[in-house]
Each structure stands twice: as structure tokens, then as C-alpha cells.
Amino acid sequence: DFAVAEIVGSVASEEGAYATILDASKRLVKNPGDAASWIPSRIQTYAAPASYTLHNLFLPPAFDWSKLNGEPVRFNCRDEGLQLLSDPVLVEDINFADIASEKGALKKQVTFIVDGGRIEQNAKQFREEFKKGGLPKEQFEQLSVTTANSVSGIALWPRLILDGTVDINSRHYPDGGHQKSHWQTVLSIMSAIPL
């Protein structure tokens, strides 16, 4: 009568949700086109450019970020060392009731608008993070501004929609703020040196 699936990763589809739900809709669920047949009924991934304290603190040659070999860095959703530079943008939207149709998954070009207010707030937060790390004042003051004005990569995290009115968010929705979650925020580092 309905399917319950917790096959959602820190990037919503990374644990194979799309293929698994598509198969279940064809073989297992009586009314796959009914959103009430799925718990959750929809999964999404949000993204935003982000700055990361350690990416700015440990620059090459002291640390070789290319050793990550394209693997993203994963963060606790409460980690204040990672700050967003823009409002989050929906980059993946999988509606389980529509999964068999072309409109079952969102595919679009994405644009991020960096927010000056966020950069100012991030500088204050980074200042506290670097200060806690024991850096001398003149170093953490400059590094907090540099970090707030840099891009380490694109941060990604999931959102689950249970029935159209109830949702589960790994980061605060809709602004992407920090909160407790068992899902991680995934950061794809764009280059060895922050941009």
C-alpha cells in the first residue's frame, strides 16, 4: 500500500534513491502515482557557495588539497567553520509519485547570488572560530575577512518532504542556517586555493 524508504544521503540521491524508488514504483507499490504511497514523498538537495576556515588556514604547500582526489569534505550541519555565501538554491528535486515521468527529477541551470550581508556576518563568525583556535589577534582579524570573502566550493545538503506539509531539513530551511542533523553538509572543494 505504501513504501517507507530512508535511502537519502547528504546529497539526496547519493544512496541510489532514484533507481530504487523507480524500481519500487514499477514493481511494488499499488498506486505509485499517489504521493500518499511514499514516505517521504519527495527528496531535494539544496546548494550554496561556501567558505571554509581550514581551506583558508592551510594553504599549499603546507597542505595539498588536491590529495582529496575530488572527494568532498563532509561537515556536521552545526559546524560554524563552514559558512554559506548566498541563499540556498534547489539543485535536485525527486518527487517519488512522478519518478517514472520526465518531470520526476529537476534538471536546470543554477545561479547563486552572493549576499554582502552574509559576508559581513560570516566574517564575525569566522573571527570567533579563528579566535577559538588560538590564533594571534592580528592574524585572526585578517584571516576572518579573507575567509568571509572567499569561495572554497559548493555546499550541498538534503531536505525530505513527508506529505506536502511536513518536512525534515538537515540545515535550517529556507536560509541554510546551522542546526542539528544526522545528515552532513557536503562541500566540494573547487581548487587548492580558495577563490
Span of 50-54, 107-111, 136-140, 189-193 with lowest mean pLDDT: 107-111
Angstrom CA distances, 69 to 48, 156, 178, stand at: 21, 18, 27
pTM of this structure: 0.92
Angstrom CA distances, 20 to 4, 13, 68, 70, 99, stand at: 12, 10, 29, 26, 10
Give dist(CA 71, CA 83) in Å, integer: 19
Omega before residue 60 within 30° of 0, cis: no
The percentage of residues in the chain with a pLDDT greater than 90, rounded to a whole number, is 82
Close Cβ partners of 174 (under 8 Å, ≥ 6 residues apart): 87, 88
Give dist(CA 171, CA 178) in Å, integer: 6
Q: Is the pLDDT of residue 13 over 60?
A: yes
Q: Is the pLDDT of residue 105 over 60?
A: no
Q: Is the pLDDT of residue 22 over 90?
A: yes
Q: Is the pLDDT of residue 137 over 80?
A: yes
pLDDT of amino acid 62: 87
Q: Cell 544526522, residue?
A: 182
pLDDT of amino acid 102: 61
Q: What is the pLDDT of residues 142-166, one digit of tens each?
A: 999 999 999 999 999 999 999 877 8
Q: What's the mean per-residue pLDDT of the chain?
A: 92
Close Cβ partners of 7 (under 8 Å, ≥ 6 residues apart): 15, 16, 17, 20, 21
pLDDT of amino acid 40: 95
Angstrom CA distances, 18 to 82, 102, 147, 160, 161, stand at: 29, 13, 36, 14, 15
Q: Cell 559558512, residue?
A: 83
Give dist(CA 91, CA 109) in Å, integer: 8
Give dist(CA 177, CA 33) in Å, integer: 33
